[in-house]
Structure 1
Amino acid sequence: MAEKILFYTHPMSRGRIIRWMLEEVGVPYQAEIMQFGTTMKDPEYKAVNPMGKVPAIVHGKTVVTECAAICAYLADAFQEANLAPPIKERGDYYRWMFFAAGPLEAAVTNKTLGVEVASDRERMVGYGNYTEVMSTLERAIASHEFVGGYRFSAADVYVGSQIGWGLQFGTIEKRQAFVDYYGRLSERPAYKRATEIDDALVREIKAAG
C-alpha cells in the first residue's frame, strides 16, 4: 500500500478526526486545505466527494469519505499500525465505531438543534432517545480502558473524537467516565501532533481573515 494518501480537510471540521488517525497510522500524507462554500463546492472536489464536504482521502485509486469509514479503511490498509483487532475480536470495535457514527451523532445533532422526538415516536428513530444513548455510551467506555476492549484502536479515534467535541461544546453530558476516557486518549502523542498541526492552521486562517 505504497500509494500516496491525499487528505482533503479543514482544521475547523471533522477532518481533525482523520488528521489524528493519519498521525496514529504514521505514514506520509499530503493535506489539501479546502474552504467552506468555495473550493469544497468546486466541481473538481465534488468529483471526489459529491457532498462537497470534508474530510475525504484518496489513496491510489481508492476514494473514501465519511469519518468512520476512513478510520476503518486506514486501519485495514495499514495493518502494521495495529489499529484494528483481529477479525474474531472485532465485535465491539465495529459496534461502537458505528454506534458513534449513527445513534450518537444523530442524538447529539437533534439535541443541539432542539429537535424533540415524542416518546411514542422513539422507535422510529435509530437512537431512541438522548438519555439512552448517553447511558449506553457510558457503559461501553466504563467497562474497558478502550472502547473496543483491551487495546487502543481506530474505534477510539472516532468515538473519542465525538466525546471530546461533545464535552467541549456541551452537547455530550459531562459524565466522569467520558472525561476520564477522553483524558486518556488526549495524552497520546499522535493526538497531540494532530492537534498542534490543526490548531496552527486555525491561527493562520484567523490571522489572514
Structure 2
Amino acid sequence: MTELVFYTHPMSRGRIVRWMLEEVGTPYETVVLEYGASMKAPDYLAINPMGKVPAIRHGGQVVAETAAICAYLADAFPAAGLAPPPAARAAYYRWLFFAAGPLEQLVTFNGCGIAVPAERERALGFGSEAAVLGTLEGALVHGGYVAGEGFTAADLYLGAQLWWAMHFGMLPRRPVLERYWQRLADRPAYRRATELDDALTA
C-alpha cells in the first residue's frame, strides 16, 4: 500500500494540496473521486464524513481540510523546508489561518453576493473587505513572503486562495496581490501540479 494517498478532484481545492505535494517531492498515489458519486460512497465517507475533497492518508493518519493538510505535510516532510522552525512560526501560523479564516469567509460572502451591513461587520470574522485587503497589502507590499525570507506552506495556501478569488472575480485584482501571486506561480512545483490537474480535467 502506498504510504501517502491523495484524494481529490481536479476542479476542487485539491489543486492546492496537489501543489503542496509537488513542493514536498515525495511519491504519492492519486485517487480521483467524482462529485455526487464516489465522493459520497461509504468507503470515502469513512475517510472524510463530509464527503468532500481533498483529503490525504499518510500511513495510519487521515487529514482533511486544505489548510490542515498543508500544515501537516510541512511538518511530516521537514526536508522540504515548507515551515519555519517551531520557535519562529508566529507569522506562519497567523497567515496560514488568516487565509483559512477571514480571507475565505470574505471570498465566500462575495461569491454568494452577500452584502454585510456596516453595523454587522464586527460580528464577522473578516470584518470588511477593506480590512482584509488592507491587511494583506500591508503584509505583501515589501515584495517578499509572509512568514520570513523564504517561501512556506502559508504562502502556498494564501496565494492559492488569492488567485482563485481574483480569477473568478470574488476579489478585486490589486497590483500588490497580483505581483505576490506571480512570484508564487513561477515556482516549478506549481507548474507541475497545474499540468497534472489540467490533464485530469481534460
Compute the TM-score of the two structures, normalised by the length of structure 1: 0.94
Residue 144 of structure 1 and its aligned partner are, at CA, apart by: 4.7
**What residue in structure 2 maps to residue 89 of structure 1?**
88
**What residue in structure 2 maps to residue 69 of structure 1?**
68
In structure 1, how many angstroms separate the alpha carbons of the residues matched to 2:106 and 2:18? Answer: 25
Provide Cα deviations, 1:90-149, integer angstroms capped at 9, x if missing partner: 111100110000000001110111112211111111111112111111112223511212
Please, which runs of 5 or more residues in structure 2 have no aligned partner? Answer: none
Q: Is the 8 A contact 2:143 2:180 kept in 1?
A: no
**What residue in structure 1 maps to residue 41 of structure 2?**
42
**What residue in structure 1 maps to residue 166 of structure 2?**
167
Instruction: Please tell me whether residue 51 in structure 1 is matched to residue 50 in structure 2.
Output: yes
**What residue in structure 1 maps to residue 114 of structure 2?**
115
**What residue in structure 2 maps to residue 17 of structure 1?**
16
Provide Cα deviations, 1:73-102, integer angstroms capped at 9, x if missing partner: 000000011100011211111001100000
In structure 2, how many angstroms separate the alpha carbons of the residues matched to 1:26 and 1:155? Answer: 17
SS for the counterpart of 2:171 is coil
Q: Is the 8 A contact 2:4 2:27 kept in 1?
A: yes
After TM superposition, which residue ranges in structure 1, 4 or more long, deviate above 6 angstroms? Answer: none
Aligned residues: 201
Q: Is the 8 A contact 1:19 1:194 kept in 2?
A: yes
Q: Is the 8 A contact 2:84 2:92 kept in 1?
A: yes
Instruction: Please tell me whether residue 130 in structure 1 is matched to residue 129 in structure 2.
Output: yes
Compute the TM-score of the two structures, normalised by the length of structure 2: 0.97
Provide Cα deviations, 1:138-196, integer angstroms capped at 9, x if missing partner: 11222351121210001111001011111211112111111111101111000000000
In structure 2, how many angstroms separate the alpha carbons of the residues matched to 1:28 and 1:142? Answer: 36
Please, which runs of 5 or more residues in structure 1 have no aligned partner? Answer: 204-209
SS for the counterpart of 1:28 is coil
The letter of the residue matching 1:154 is: A
* Identity, % of aligned positions: 56
